[in-house]
Structure 1
Amino acid sequence: MNKLKFSRELRLLAPVQFRAVFEDPLRASTPQMTILARQTSTEIPRLGLTVAKKHLKRAHDRNRIKRIVRESFRLNQHELPALDFVFIAKGGIGKLDNQALFLALDKLWQRHIRLAKKEK
């Protein structure tokens, strides 16, 4: 049975880990968000989040976006390839409601699954 947790080992925590993803990533984007991915030495996918104050002024808006991205990752983690992912929020992301955000994230996860199969 698959465990649907979002434990500490599924997160990118250190700046070095983020920098590694930014070097030469696979990219999947919408006008409101980008998900970068990079090959990793771990056997599980990991997620890092960047939601800037520049795009969402209020903390509760930034927290809502991060909560939804973590939940989407948690539900899709067993389908995702073993890559390090970094979610980047862009302008206009605050205008999306929760359902639209989940749908956009699902499309981006599916795109990364296809990109990873193409890379192999």
Structure 2
Amino acid sequence: MSFKLTHDIKILKANEYSAIFKGGKLAKGKHWQIIAKPIKSPKPRLGLAISKKVHRLAVDRNRFKRIARETFRLERLCLDNWGFVVMARRSKPAKNAVLSAELLSLFKKVSKNEISITVPH
């Protein structure tokens, strides 16, 4: 099994993002916010929405993207067929390990149906 993030694992199109935003489950942490929805694909999929309004500097946005992709890549075998859209929240700087651990716990909460908050349309 390859751990590469191929094109079919990434959420790239606007209609795929909007499908997850409509009726997806929302999970918030201190540094991250995830919206997730079950999908028909046999593999989990990842989309990133790291805003300039939240992290003004490109280096900060790229760091959050790198951590999100790496965490998803390493743990995607444990995740079911969900589409995840990951967003960064405004927060104080934290170490990469802390960011990764929080994101992993949010992935698992959502995929285990421990979150019941749905995103309003």
Normalised to the residue count of structure 2, the TM-score between the two structures is: 0.88
Aligned pairs for 1:10-89 (under 5 A) are: 10-89=9-88
From 99, 108, 112, the equivalent of 1:110 is 108
Superposition deviation, residue 5 in structure 1: 1.2
Distance in 2, matches of 1:28 and 1:81, equals: 16
* Deviation beyond 6 Å, 4+ runs, structure 1: none
Distance in 1, matches of 2:69 and 2:88, equals: 13
Percent identical: 30
In the alignment, what sits opposite 1:97?
95
Q: For residues 57-96 of structure 1, what are the alpha-carbon distances to aligned partners after superposition, in whole Å with 9 as ceiling and x for unaligned?
A: 111110011001000000011110101110011111x612
Superposition deviation, residue 32 in structure 1: 2.2
Give the structure, 1 or 2, with the largest relative contact order (CA under 8 Å, sep 6 or more).
2
Q: Counterpart amino acid of 1:3?
A: S
- Whether contact under 8 Å (2:45, 2:82) holds in the other structure is yes
Distance in 1, matches of 2:65 and 2:73, equals: 12
Unaligned runs of 5+ in 2: 117-121
Bigger proportion of residues as helix = 1
Distance in 2, matches of 1:4 and 1:97, equals: 24
Measured on the aligned residues, the alpha-carbon RMSD in Å equals 1.6
Residues paired across the two proteins, number: 115
